[in-house]
Amino acid sequence: MTTLQHLPSDLETELESVTTSNNDFADSLGQKLQRSPNDIDTWNQLFSTIDKVISDNISQDDTTKTTLSDEVKTKIHNTYKTLLTRFPYLEEIWKKWSVVEYKMDGLEASIEILRMAVESFPHSVSLWTDYLTALKSTQCADSEQFRLTYTEALRYNAYNFVSHPIWDKAIEFETETQPNSKEVLSLYLKVVNIPLYQYAQYYSQFSEINKNFDIHELIDEAKLNDYVEKFGKLKTEDLSLIEKHQIIDDYFATIFASTQAKVSSNWEYEQLLLHQDFSFDRKGIEEERTTWVEYIDREILIYQVDNDENRFALICSLFERALIPNCFDEDLWLKYIKFIDGLGIPDEKKCELEREIYIRANAKFIPLNQCKVRKLYAYFLLKQNDIDSAVEYLFDWMKSLSGTSKQYFKLPYLEMTREIIHIWKMSLDKEKFLEAMELLLDNYFDKRNEEKRMKSENKEASRNCGACQLPDALLYSFAKFLNEDSIPIIVDQCLEVYKCQGNSVKIRTLFNKYHREPSLVKSPSFWKFIFKYEGIVENNLSNLKSIYNFIRVESQLPKPIIDMFVDWYYDIASANIREYLVINNGRSDDSMIFKDLEMSNSLYYNKLTTKRLAKNNYKFIDNPKSMADPEQSYLDLCSKQAGHPGVFIDANPEITNSFMNRGRYIDLTEEAIPTPLLPTFKGVEKAQALGKKRAHISRTTKK
């Protein structure tokens, strides 16, 4: 079973209670789901346990006789709600929930769950069928309400290849109400044109009753006039009854042949689609994805030629069906949006369709680490000249991903932050943009000095009042959600603007002021910019050397990044040997000699790496025991590791027969207290070997 990625529902501040308070096993499963909410096997175990709780506490003969409290019923309700809010396409779970509610609270409660089901999963034929059946079974069923309900069901599912259960319910209802009504005719005229699995059934049914309707209601005026002309008549009224019946039969026989050809053509793909329901077993679904795409592409090509309205509805239905099993597939959602965007329909309708798809995909299905659709929706809003809504949308995601309320999702958080900055950069002039970035920078780094921050706020508030489309309130709110990972983005933007202005003073001032900040000592982009600026743009080799030495010893950059700087610095030093001889008072630069050692993975040979790692290791920071010789302390720590950081050999002997563990306590209340055994140890030899190794390393270092 495929492990699911983090979904938008993971951003909820708290998972609703999924315990019953009536069964210890169910409570333990609920606690497990708090930690692993995507574990469908545990959910199924929990639902089975709930079924047992219900059967043990509710009479099968009379459901009104129950020992379940309202609190337990509410918790059972929340259990199903929690899962189906997370995975709304779990059709069978919706049905199971409906049955559970029927057992606990009766028919009305069950129907309410089905109503919620079709609202959350409107493209489910099965759920709509159950809902219509349940509505019709109620004694006080409202005919108009039922008609509105099946109309809504057909709005979403009329072109589904297997939507015949809904059509059957609609036709059955209207036929029982009034056999030859306009509603019955309207349903048949539509269904005989749709390529459904049961297309022949509807043609046969309609053939039996279509003679009961006026020919003008069955055939549009233009086609009817063609038939009149073929029969050598001047007008429809001149046709005999037999001729009218012949025309009706011929007209609908033609439609039947056309529909039959469409069904045969579609069956080529439909027979291959065996996994059309949402499932956590993704293997079969992923194998059939290509079939869905080919099926859709073929229909789109045909639609581009005939531009038929029914074909458009069929394509939308295919996308919706494909997105049930493939609801986490970002590329398929994008394909759907691209199709809608390329339609030759009024912009207002097109925007409405695209907006609905964007919101549904982003809010429910697209995994959090996939940001393309979310960013595209922001640009969709920009196309509508709604900059504020675009920024607000991205900012809402940034806040949710920042970890302030629950879990921190670093990569998508940074994506949203960059996109907001990019939109501001596009929409503001350079001066206003720089002022905004400087404000964010000062606010973040000076937030520990509250008085200074407040003065900055007051100054900027008057500066921006009515002069800029970017409100200070938004900037200060944005600044609250910046962290050590995102503030380098702001710094990089300031540096780029200063570089475009040719303002080396501001670049160096910013560097000198903030380069030791924890957020920047580990930022590759910051050090890459300043390294490139001093070494290539300004060609200030003295500054470059100081920066290079800081990177090697003081920074918290990953070693591959530092190796890149070592290699880069070597190339610059090799190209400027004379200049470096002057800087080093006639000596060659060390980088020319020690390059390979500085890129070595050995802590013994690469002393600067040892020094940098010791300086930044949390175990040695402000630790008096390690202050005297942090490099040696770091080497001692590494010597305890069994071939991999974090995997330690036994450094201290361990008692193996402790009477304080595993229930071996000595009961002091007894009269005859047994004498405990002498302790036995494990790891004594390893501890002795480690001591000898430490002594050897210390002697070697002193020499």
pLDDT per residue as tens digits for the range 381-411:
999 999 999 999 999 999 999 988 778 999 9
Report pLDDT for 28.
Answer: 81
Report pLDDT for 167.
Answer: 97
Q: Sign of the CA dihedral 600, 605, 607, 612?
A: positive
Least confident of 249-253, 418-422, 617-621: 617-621
Going from the C-alpha of 703 to that of each of 71, 610, 630, 696, the distances in angstroms are: 75, 18, 18, 11
Q: Which long-range contacts (CB under 8 A, 24 or more apart) does 309-318 make?
A: 310/159, 310/193, 310/194, 312/343, 313/158, 313/159, 314/159, 314/194, 314/195, 315/339, 316/159, 317/157, 317/158, 317/159, 317/160, 318/292
Q: Is the pLDDT of residue 463 over 70?
A: no
Least confident of 126-130, 316-320, 637-641: 637-641
Report pLDDT for 200.
Answer: 95
Structure tokens, 220: 């549009």
Report pLDDT for 599.
Answer: 87
Percent of the chain with pLDDT over 90: 56
Task: With H, G, I as helix, E, B as strand and everything else as coil, classify residue 58.
Answer: strand
- Interhelix angle 347-360/330-341, nearest 10 degrees: 170
Q: Is the pLDDT of residue 265 over 90?
A: yes
Query: Over the stretch 514-539, which tens digit does the pLDDT of each residue have?
Result: 999 999 999 999 999 999 999 999 99
Q: Is the pLDDT of residue 246 over 60?
A: yes
> Confidence band (pLDDT; 50, 70, 90) for 499?
very high
> Confidence band (pLDDT; 50, 70, 90) for 459?
very low
Q: Is the pLDDT of residue 5 over 90?
A: no
Report pLDDT for 464.
Answer: 45
Going from the C-alpha of 457 to that of each of 109, 446, 454, 483, 491, the distances in angstroms are: 54, 12, 5, 19, 19
Report pLDDT for 204.
Answer: 95
Report pLDDT for 21.
Answer: 53
Q: How large is the average pLDDT for residues 637-662?
A: 65
Element (H, E) at 325: none
> Confidence band (pLDDT; 50, 70, 90) for 566?
very high
> Confidence band (pLDDT; 50, 70, 90) for 453?
very low
Report pLDDT for 622.
Answer: 72
Report pLDDT for 671.
Answer: 78
d(CA 216, CA 302): 30
d(CA 402, CA 481): 7
**Max Cα separation, the chain?**
123
Q: How many CB atoms lie within 10 A of CB 130?
A: 22
Q: Is the pLDDT of residue 660 over 70?
A: no
Q: How large is the average pLDDT for residues 342-371?
A: 93
Nearest 10 degrees: Cα torsion 439, 443, 445, 449: 140
Least confident of 33-47, 123-137, 145-159, 197-211: 33-47
> Confidence band (pLDDT; 50, 70, 90) for 652?
low
- End-to-end CA separation in angstroms for the chain: 59
Task: With H, G, I as helix, E, B as strand and everything else as coil, classify residue 105.
Answer: helix
Q: Using CB atoms within 10 Å of the CB of residue 234, give its burial: 0 to 12 exposed, 13 to 18 middle, 19+ buried.
A: exposed
Query: Over the stretch 172-195, which tens digit does the pLDDT of each residue have?
Result: 999 999 988 999 999 999 999 999
Structure tokens, 59: 């009479």
Report pLDDT for 455.
Answer: 45
| Residue (of 270, 251, 242) closest to 207 by Cα position | 251
Q: Is the pLDDT of residue 138 over 60?
A: yes
- Choose between 602 and 481: higher pLDDT: 481
Report pLDDT for 451.
Answer: 42
Report pLDDT for 634.
Answer: 80
Contact (Cβ atoms closer than 8 angstroms) between residue 436 and residue 475 = yes
Report pLDDT for 16.
Answer: 53
pTM over 0.95: no
Q: Is the pLDDT of residue 310 over 70?
A: yes
Q: How large is the average pLDDT for residues 432-445?
A: 92
Structure tokens, 379: 């640009």
Least confident of 133-142, 326-335, 492-501: 133-142
d(CA 324, CA 322): 6
Q: Is the pLDDT of residue 615 over 90?
A: no
Contact (Cβ atoms closer than 8 angstroms) between residue 510 and residue 496 = no
d(CA 121, CA 87): 10
- Choose between 699 and 241: higher pLDDT: 241
> Confidence band (pLDDT; 50, 70, 90) for 304?
very high
Q: Round the average pLDDT of the chain to a whole number and report it.
A: 86
Q: How large is the average pLDDT for residues 607-615?
A: 84
> Confidence band (pLDDT; 50, 70, 90) for 22?
low
Report pLDDT for 14.
Answer: 54
Least confident of 239-253, 292-306, 589-603, 636-650: 636-650
Report pLDDT for 456.
Answer: 46
